[in-house]
Chains A and B, each alone.
Chain A
Amino acid sequence: MNKHVVMNKPPRKRGTLSVKKISLAHGGGGKAMRDLIDDVFVNAFDNSHLAPLEDQARFSLDDLAKHGDRLAFTTDSYVVDPLFFPGGDIGKLAICGTVNDLAVGGATPLYLTCSMIIEEGIEIDLLRRIAASMAAEAKIAGVQIVTGDTKVVNRGCCDKVFINTAGIGVIRENCNLATGAAEPGDIILVNGLLGDHGATILAARGDMILDAPIESDCAALNGLIDALLDDCPEIRFIRDATRGGLATVLNEIAEASGVSIEISEDKTPLRAEVKGFCEILGLDPLYLANEGKLVMVVPPDSADKALKIMQSHPLGKGAAAIGEVGDWDAGRVTMLTSFGGRRIVDMLVGEQLPRIC
């Protein structure tokens, strides 16, 4: 009876904002904060889990269990300058990054949180644009943003907006992707051009004024990964090559699996513009961040199949087999250069710093 009454209660009237800029009042816990949450976030993210605005989102275990037999849970914080860049923005990143972190573990991403740290004085319209971008990307990725938080900090205490998203997904049965699963003879695959995101951000930051038509590759990869795991469950490992780029992921695989990896410079997909950009700045594209690229280890017999699956998906058109797992020096990653030489591809020590001349 009670349940019936609740369901028929008219929906709560959502608050609206009349001011143009964020002030500390919007973090005070009172009406101003409630209006901000309603006007900017609830309106954009609108879904039945979020609408009641309880302190937590609630899920039925039975519903979760339809997707698999284990929960996957992840979190990531997003700080990027500039907030909007060619090919994406901080909101899109905050969805794609967390969705991808779930998906590369073989999980179906379902629910995300959204926690915002906002600097006093920023335009509310800017937040609206970010929220709209998050909502649009969540829809594409098939996930819901079900709970969240906002904090407002004094001017200068954060750089405009920081976002944290945590995500829950459910891992399909019998799927045990692991960094340590690579074996000699396995093939290394990637789903397309590398380094676009890192180069885009560097260029957008104005560190270097280049008229380079490069866009971030920021994309949710769960659809592509689903297609792969449906038809190619023998895939050993998938990782999105974000910060630290391809080189870092390969080093992690080599170390965890106790194997060597050799990639070929000729086969590694890089855009001419990104190569040129790196050439001028003295950077190595293998270490540039990606936001829509995965690195995958597959047994040799399945490489062609996995490659075809990727190439027939919009996010895998440029997929390529770039190297092979070996057993000559555990933990070593090497590259056969286009020139015919061979060099080690090591972990980056700190940040990549441009060379003097």
Chain B
Amino acid sequence: MKYVDEFRDPEKARSLLKEINRLVTEIDTCKDRPIYIMEVCGGHTHSIFRYGIEGMLPKEIELIHGPGCPVCVLPMGRVDDCVALAEMPGTIFTTFGDAMRVPGSKKSLLQAKADGADVRMVYSPLDALQLAKENPDKEVVFFGLGFETTMPSTAFTVLQAKKDGINNFSLFCNHITIIPTVKAILDSPDMQIDGFLGPGHVSMVIGTRPYEFIASHYKRPLVVAGFEPLDVLHSVWMVLMQIVEGRAEIENQYARIVPDEGNDEALAAVAEVFELREFFEWRGLGSIDHSGVRMRKEFVAFDAERKFTVPDIKIADPKSCQCGEVLKGVIKPFDCKVFGKACTPETPLGALMVSSEGACAAYYQYGDPARMRELEKA
């Protein structure tokens, strides 16, 4: 595929890896422990496993798979709310595909569908709005989910619904914002992260400036990275260069997509429709201040949470689940007591086993990178 294969060139990968291998010999920390680099975004986790990137890196580099999979971090109680909305008579509940399987305390949306609820998969909130227009006698609820990447399209859809005077469309808003969560991880006492790969698609909307505090206050390098395998390797190399040169800066590897100032139009739509919540609950990480958004009161007619009654019951994560520690890089997925035993992609206990972008699901499905590295040598 033109414009894609160029970013998957194995020759270029080999020369980058050679450079990366050389750089780790220049980093003193590597003599005692590995360098920990967190990729914040689930899209990166997916690429890393899909292309086997972690197994190609020297053992001195460990990738920590961060909290940036919106499906994974959705708390169980919110899924229960989705199910309750979906099971209201006369409702068509619309959602992105991979949210269908996330377990609630009683059932997932997939199970609710099997039980008779009208749950439909859509690729865009605009599809849900179209459904509302086609089914004026039904209430169409869209399950708004994701970081700043998907927030603008939801905001535009709500604005469109208001403009068109559609009164049978509403949004169950579960959009979250990444910055407070990265900050929470950095503030965590057991945190041991030396640098970050910044989320490419989120940054396409918010730009690179919101990350400045990571460099200035926490003295950690962050490189906003693209999603093709060469993008990931290139960004790892850029983080290492900063460490070698003793710098902590925000750099933009994904400049072909990400403008430093972000996307004004998208940000304006988001600001018009959404406001920060005081706090939002994350599966595996607990409650984080200002980490979620809700709809402004001008859009109350489109807010499923206010238009209908949702149970809004907080369900604690299972005690045996160690997702929080995996997210912070304190342990690896297979160090968790329930990994692959009680917790599998079929019956996920923890957030990270839920979506293929979750670190645990990726380890389970695509294999332990260390094992792959051994195989490479054999």
Q: Which of A276, A334, A341, A343 has the most CB of B within 10 A?
A: A341
Q: A208-B123, A357-B201 are in contact. Are A340 and B10 (CB under 8 A)?
A: yes
The number of residues on chain A lying at the interface, defined by a beta carbon within 8 Å of a beta carbon of chain B, is 28
With an 8 A cutoff between CB atoms, is A12 at the interface? no
A272-B1, A356-B70 known; A338-B52 Cβ under 8 A? no
Residue B313 lies at the interface, judged by CB distance under 8 Å to chain A: no
Question: Is A342 within 8 A of B55, CB to CB?
Answer: yes
**Cβ-based interface call for A355 (8 A):** yes
A338 to B229 alpha-carbon distance, docked (Å): 10
Cβ of A59 within 8 Å of any chain B Cβ, yes or no, is no
Stretch at the interface among B81-89, B188-196, B300-308, B365-373: B365-373
Q: Render B148-169 as a binary contact track against A, CB cut-off 8 A, 1 for contact.
A: 0110000000000000000000
> Bound state CA distance, A338 and B51, in angstroms?
8
The docked-state distance in angstroms from the alpha carbon of A230 to that of B60 is: 54
Whether the pair B52, A356 counts as a contact (CB closer than 8 A) is: no
Question: Which candidate, B97-105, B243-251, B262-270, B284-292, is the interface stretch facing chain A?
Answer: B97-105
Nearest to A284 among chain B residues (CB) is B50
Residues of A within 8 A of B98 (CB): 282, 353-356
Q: Does B96 contact A (CB under 8 A)?
A: yes
Q: Of residues 192 to 241 in B, which have CB atoms within 8 Å of A's CB atoms?
A: 201, 229-230
Shortest CB–CB separation between residue B242 and chain A, in angstroms? 24
Q: Are B375 and A339 in contact (CB under 8 A)?
A: no
Kindly list chain A residues whose C-beta atoms are within 8 Å of the C-beta of B71: 356
Please name the residue on chain A nearest to B232 by beta carbon. A339
> Is the CB of A337 closer than 8 A to any CB of chain B?
yes
> Judging by beta carbons under 8 Å apart, are B146 and A356 in contact?
yes
Of B201, B346, B366, chain A has the most CB atoms within 10 Å of the CB of B366
Asked whether B99 lies within 8 Å of A343 as measured between CB atoms, the reply is: no
Closest A residue to B54 using CB positions = A341
On whether the beta carbons of B52 and A342 are closer than 8 Å, the reply is yes
**Are A356 and B10 in contact, CB atoms less than 8 angstroms apart?**
no
Given contacts A334-B367, A339-B53, A356-B145, contact A350 B101 (CB under 8 A): yes
Task: Specify the main secondary structure of chain A where it touches its partner.
Answer: loop
Q: Is A279 engaged at the interface, CB distance under 8 Å to the other chain?
A: yes
Total B residues in contact with A, Cβ cutoff 8 Å: 47
B-facing residues in A12-49 (Cβ within 8 Å) = none
Q: What sequence of 0s and 1s flags, for each residue 232-264 of chain A, a beta carbon within 8 Å of any chain B beta carbon?
A: 000000000000000000000000000000000
- State in angstroms the CA–CA spacing of A342 and B96 once bound together: 29
Q: How far is the CB of B234 from chain A (nearest CB, A)?
A: 13
Check B346–A349 contact: CB distance below 8 A.
yes
Residue A55, interface by CB 8 Å:
no
Chain B residue with the shortest CB-CB distance to A350: B101
Total A-B Cβ pairs within 8 A: 101
Which of A343, A346, A354 contacts B50 (CB under 8 A)?
A: A343
Q: Specify which of A276, A346, A350 is in contact with B365 (CB 8 Å cutoff).
A: A346
Interface contact A328-B378, CB-CB below 8 Å: yes
Judged by a CB distance under 8 angstroms, whether B376 is at the interface is yes
A276-B1, A356-B96 are contacts. A343–B346 as well, Cβ < 8 Å? no
Given contacts A207-B123, A343-B51, A350-B101, contact A357 B146 (CB under 8 A): yes
| A344 contacts chain B at the CB level, 8 A cutoff | yes
Q: Are A340 and B97 in contact (CB under 8 A)?
A: no
Which residues of the partner chain A approach B1 to less than 8 Å between Cβ atoms? 272, 275-276, 279
- Which residue in B56, B150, B364 is a CB contact (below 8 Å) of A356? B150
CA distance A12 to B112 in the complex (A): 53
Which of A279, A282, A343, A353 is the one whose CB lies under 8 Å from B367? A343
Query: Judging by beta carbons under 8 Å apart, are A340 and B367 in contact?
Result: no
- Is residue B49 within 8 Å, beta carbon to beta carbon, of the partner chain? yes
Q: How far is it, in angstroms, between the C-alpha of A282 and the C-alpha of B43 when the chains are bound?
A: 10
Contact in complex: B372, A342 (CB < 8 Å) = yes
B345 contacts the other chain (Cβ, under 8 Å)?
yes
Question: In the complex, A337→B43 CA distance in Å?
Answer: 18
- Bound together, the chains give a CA A207 to CA B96 distance in angstroms of 12
- List residues 132-153 of chain A with CB under 8 A from any CB of chain B: none
The residues in B between 324 and 373 inclusive whose CB is less than 8 angstroms from any CB of A are: 345-346, 355-357, 364-367, 372
B33 at the interface (CB under 8 A from A): no
Asked if B14 is at the interface (CB within 8 A of a chain A CB), the reply is yes
Q: How far is the CA of A276 from the CA of B13 in the complex (A)?
A: 22
CB closest residue in chain B, given A273: B1
Candidates A279, A344, A349; contact of B4 at CB < 8 Å: A279
| A343-B366 contact, Cβ under 8 Å, with A207-B123, A349-B345 | yes
Q: Which residues of B contact A272 (CB under 8 A)?
A: 1
Q: Is B276 an interface residue (CB 8 A)?
A: no
B8: interface (CB < 8 Å): yes
Contacts of B101 in A (CB 8 A): 350, 353
Once A342-B376, A356-B150 are accepted as A-B contacts, the answer to whether A337 and B96 lie under 8 Å apart by CB is no
Provided the pairs A343-B367, A346-B366, A349-B346 are in contact, do residues A357 and B8 lie with their beta carbons within 8 angstroms?
no
B365 touching A337 by the CB < 8 A rule? no
Of all chain A residues, the one with the shortest Cβ separation from B52 is A341
Name the CB-closest residue of B to A352. B97
In the assembled complex, the Cα of A344 lies from the Cα of B340 at a distance in Å of 15
Residues of A near B365 (CB, < 8 A) are 344, 346
**Chain A proximity of B186: nearest CB distance (Å):** 24
Known contacts A337-B52, A340-B13, A342-B52; decide if A355 and B123 are in contact (CB<8 Å). no
The distance from the CB of A195 to the nearest CB of chain B, in whole angstroms, is 14
A208, closest chain B residue (CB): B123
Q: How far apart sit A337 and B201, CA to CA, in the bound complex (Å)?
A: 24
12 contacts between A and B (CB under 8 A): A207-B123, A284-B50, A334-B372, A337-B51, A338-B8, A340-B10, A341-B55, A342-B372, A343-B51, A343-B367, A354-B97, A355-B357
17 additional A-B residue pairs with CB within 8 Å, beyond A339-B52, A355-B97, A356-B146: A279-B1, A328-B375, A334-B367, A334-B375, A337-B50, A339-B13, A339-B56, A339-B229, A342-B376, A343-B367, A343-B372, A344-B366, A349-B345, A350-B110, A354-B98, A356-B70, A357-B70
